[in-house]
Structure 1
């Protein structure tokens, strides 16, 4: 009986081996573009002098070498209200550091990048943000009344348009949860946001438990950046890695001499309020 089973197993294995054929598929590869991570974030309670801008080049999704930091570029940011220029020094690892930046609310700033004979520019305004009033936890307002959710309360300033980006990230999670918000229907009122995590075997996500540490950031953003990040969040939450991108998202980094060779990424300036909460 055992010998018969082994013969059957070998026969099936040979059958599948005979039907296996390696197929090489040519995947189109676009030319590399400059990728700009220029987030000037001024945390409340700090002077905001130390800022980092990251430059890299785009790579094919299946590329084995992901080390693509761009060095030897010239990077600066100019305060358009005072014409003061801040130089970001090349750290030779794709990062450019400035330790004397002066953030001023409602001032317009221009980013300038010179790389490989190309010049990229972007203009943004430093937006203010209200403070997070409090964080509470409950099991009443989420989708599962037996699971802990965190509730964040934020007072929205009256009689002005405000746009927010909210980032939740539990320590140990690889990626944060991002939410874009505007105050069109809640102007001047207290806003309430909640986040709830449910057990998911496919993603490895687990619900909040006592002792979990969660970092919560509230950013004040411009309307232009709100429109950009809203589309980006929608696309990252839909489909899979092989899905067709419905809209090509362009940031605000412009190559005026060669518009077709625009950079990926965005130059933003925000004020941010940060809170760390430990689940009870």
Structure 2
């Protein structure tokens, strides 16, 4: 009997010891690509003259501590309607800034980036955004009738196609929440959007409570950018769903006209945005 117990203990030790073996897996790493974060956002009520574009290089998934910021690039934005050229100044930390940008609703802008012997470009039209009518809170209008939600109301202009991006963020959350909106079924009517949070320890999120402040941004965006964000949002929020399709690489609008295979990641957008916040009562 003692020999049996000793054998059982030995086998248990071997099993648990074997679970601690480290397995090194060689993963295929793609060649680094330039990443362009170029969001020319004109906040309503401001001049919109100060803008920033960020450049970096892509890295393997597990390389999180490496500085990938890109300096030494030449970055310009051209208003193709007026011919005005805005040169962004290198801040030597991956950011490129300008303080004389002139936003014009309906005009088309072209981004040009020259770096490491490659040229990248993208075009986008600056879209307007409607005003927010009102912001309220409720409990019974969301998915869970025990959770507070914030409600945003705005009018959609009639007789034209409009696309919107909503951004909600509470300080301390790991990520903001994005939602893409088309006026396909609400054209010319008041649009109602709401946002509530569930308890999510993995993302350090908790349901809204009285006193919480949520930052809200409503963007007017192009149809092209709407389609891009729709795919990104769909892939992000379906992560972990066993019935969702496999994630795929989503191409932005930053192309390399002389070397198409050497395109850049990221997107160049030009938007007008309403910026506000709401404090729960």
Q: Same fold (TM over 0.5)?
A: yes
Cα displacement string for residues 125-148 of structure 1 (whole angstroms, at most 9, x for unaligned residues): 000000111110011211222211
**Cα deviation, residue 94, structure 1:** 0.3
**Cα deviation, residue 51, structure 1:** 0.1
Tell me the residue number matched to 2:272.
271
Cα displacement string for residues 101-143 of structure 1 (whole angstroms, at most 9, x for unaligned residues): 0000000010000000000010110000001111100112112
CA distance in 1, matches of 2:246, 2:16: 36
Tell me the residue number matched to 1:140.
140
Tell me the residue number matched to 2:119.
119
Structure 1 contact 171–212 (Cα < 8 Å) conserved: no
Secondary structure in 2 aligned to 1:230?
helix
Tell me the residue number matched to 2:261.
260
Structure 2 contact 220–271 (Cα < 8 Å) conserved: yes
Please, what TM-score do these two structures have when normalized by structure 1? 0.92
Secondary structure in 1 aligned to 2:132?
coil
> Structure 1 residues 78, 194: CA separation in 2 closer, same or farther (over 3 Å shift)?
same
CA distance in 1, matches of 2:209, 2:215: 15
Tell me the residue number matched to 1:24.
24
Question: 1:80-119 to 2 correspondence within 5 Å?
Answer: 80-119=80-119
Tell me the residue number matched to 2:169.
169
CA distance in 2, matches of 1:121, 1:132: 33
CA distance in 2, matches of 1:251, 1:64: 23
Structure 2 contact 119–257 (Cα < 8 Å) conserved: yes
**Cα deviation, residue 247, structure 1:** 3.1
Structure 2 contact 173–204 (Cα < 8 Å) conserved: no
Secondary structure in 2 aligned to 1:133?
strand
CA distance in 1, matches of 2:161, 2:263: 30
> Structure 1 residues 200, 248: CA separation in 2 closer, same or farther (over 3 Å shift)?
closer
Taking only aligned residues, the RMSD between alpha carbons, in angstroms, comes to 2.2
Structure 1 contact 129–219 (Cα < 8 Å) conserved: yes
Cα displacement string for residues 224-273 of structure 1 (whole angstroms, at most 9, x for unaligned residues): 000111001111112249x9854321111110111001000000000000
Tell me the residue number matched to 2:230.
230
Tell me the residue number matched to 1:63.
63
CA distance in 1, matches of 2:205, 2:88: 38
Structure 1 contact 169–177 (Cα < 8 Å) conserved: yes
Tell me the residue number matched to 1:51.
51
CA distance in 1, matches of 2:18, 2:231: 47
Structure 2 contact 174–204 (Cα < 8 Å) conserved: no
Please, what TM-score do these two structures have when normalized by structure 2? 0.92
Question: 1:135-214 to 2 correspondence within 5 Å?
Answer: 135-214=135-214
CA distance in 2, matches of 1:9, 1:192: 64
CA distance in 2, matches of 1:113, 1:98: 14
CA distance in 1, matches of 2:121, 2:113: 6
Q: Give the number of equivalent residue pairs.
A: 275
CA distance in 2, matches of 1:40, 1:111: 10
Secondary structure in 2 aligned to 1:130?
coil
CA distance in 1, matches of 2:147, 2:20: 47
